[in-house]
């Protein structure tokens, strides 16, 4: 068995600004597994900076090479792999990279699409779009393009001090679109009056308004505002999801497989949301077409009932790492269920072009 890694640096078509800062490129780690005539790929969604999470590419590579990679040796089923590495606290993005690599391998081995391998597959994903902070006219221009393209939900990034300007400007032009706002933890409970002022914009939800690891104050906030709360960074496992619903901290969850250690926990979280009369959707981390394929397979699951951040990658990158990127038609993205695993064809020339470091693991 051979497992290789490629650290790639992908330039973004447009700068992407959140309350964390502005990205002009995406640096990801791609993994390739070859065994039994099968080649599988996955992507680690950590970044070069520890802003979204304490994990970054350096910590991920350290944890994978020193602790996780040995547990892939016998090609266990993904859930078995997670159980075998449960003694390692946290580092979900590192775990997810290998868990999903095993998902692609086993789905291909069983000659099933990844969406079918996960079960409860409806065959398509319903995409929304995420728009970064920019000058108002630029944001409105991108929203206009998205509406014309048929996106089912528009999400905009906001930050403290700009939220009302952004949302009022959008609602003045688009009073009826399905609109949500992502705060990326930029507020505190002391900002409750400011957050109450956002109720007037009829948002589907406000995403992660308070601290990245908080449940308690989100629960208190949910009783003070009428806008539903969606949690992102605060939900790192199915156990956290159960607690969030138990105390009323949210009614919606943004599931990012990398944040929760992979697809096994993602499915559990989506089921918890459904059982609690809540909602779930699939988020994104500006993945290349390799990582995006996993998001699409999850987003096609019947447990996912809200549009996600699953735009076709042509929106973010002029050139992708796959030859067959996803495309949207009439507001949906169809999954090719005839192709095994993730169904992607990796473009070896593009992978080589954007790789800034690579190597192999000794197993």
Catalytic annotation, residues: 157, 256
Give the SS3 label for residue 36.
Answer: coil
* DSSP of 230-277: EESTT--SHHHHHHHHHTTS-SEEEE-GGGGTSHHHHHHHHHHHHHTT
Place of tokens 């973004």: 12
| Whole-angstrom distance, CA of residue 314 vs CA of residue 299 | 18
Joined tokens for residue 252: 């919606």
Q: What is the DSSP letter of 291?
A: H
Q: Cα dist. 25→42, 215, 286, 316, 350 in Å?
A: 19, 32, 9, 10, 15
Rounded distance, CA 211 to CA 101, Å? 31
User: How wide is the angle at C-alpha 261 spanned by C-alphas 258 and 264, nearest 5°?
Assistant: 110
């Amino acid at each position: 068995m051979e497992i290789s890694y490629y650290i790639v640096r992908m330039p973004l078509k447009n700068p992407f600004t959140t309350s964390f800062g502005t990205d002009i490129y995406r640096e990801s780690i791609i993994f390739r597994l070859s065994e039994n005539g099968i080649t599988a790929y996955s992507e680690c969604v950590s970044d070069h900076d520890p802003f979204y999470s304490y994990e970054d590419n350096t910590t991920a590579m350290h944890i994978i090479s020193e602790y996780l990679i040995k547990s892939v040796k016998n090609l266990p089923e993904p859930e078995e792999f997670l159980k075998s590495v449960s003694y390692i606290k946290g580092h979900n993005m590192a775990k997810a990279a290998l868990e999903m690599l095993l998902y692609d391998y086993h789905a291909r081995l069983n000659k099933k699409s990844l969406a079918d391998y996960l079960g409860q597959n409806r065959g398509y994903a319903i995409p929304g779009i995420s728009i970064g902070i920019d000058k108002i006219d630029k944001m409105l221009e991108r929203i206009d393009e998205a509406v014309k393209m048929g996106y089912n939900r528009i999400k905009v990034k906001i930050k403290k001090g700009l939220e009302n300007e952004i949302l009022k400007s959008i609602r003045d032009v688009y009073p009826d679109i399905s609109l949500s706002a992502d705060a990326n933890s930029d507020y505190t409970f002391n900002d409750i009056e400011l957050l109450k002022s956002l109720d007037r914009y009829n948002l589907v939800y406000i995403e992660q308004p308070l601290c990245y690891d908080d449940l308690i104050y989100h629960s208190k906030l949910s009783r003070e505002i009428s806008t539903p709360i969606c949690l992102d960074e605060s939900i790192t496992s199915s156990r956290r999801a159960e607690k969030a619903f138990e105390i009323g901290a949210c009614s919606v969850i943004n599931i990012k497989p990398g944040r929760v250690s992979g697809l096994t926990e993602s499915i559990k979280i989506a089921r918890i949301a459904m059982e609690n009369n809540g909602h779930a959707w699939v988020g994104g981390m500006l993945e290349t077409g390799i990582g995006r394929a996993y998001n699409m397979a999850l987003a096609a699951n019947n447990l996912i009932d809200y549009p996600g951040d699953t735009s076709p990658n042509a929106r973010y990158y002029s050139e992708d790492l796959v030859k067959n990127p996803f495309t949207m038609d009439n507001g949906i993205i169809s999954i090719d269920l005839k192709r095994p695993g993730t169904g992607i064809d990796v473009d070896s020339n593009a992978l080589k072009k954007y790789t800034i470091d690579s190597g192999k693991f000794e197993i």
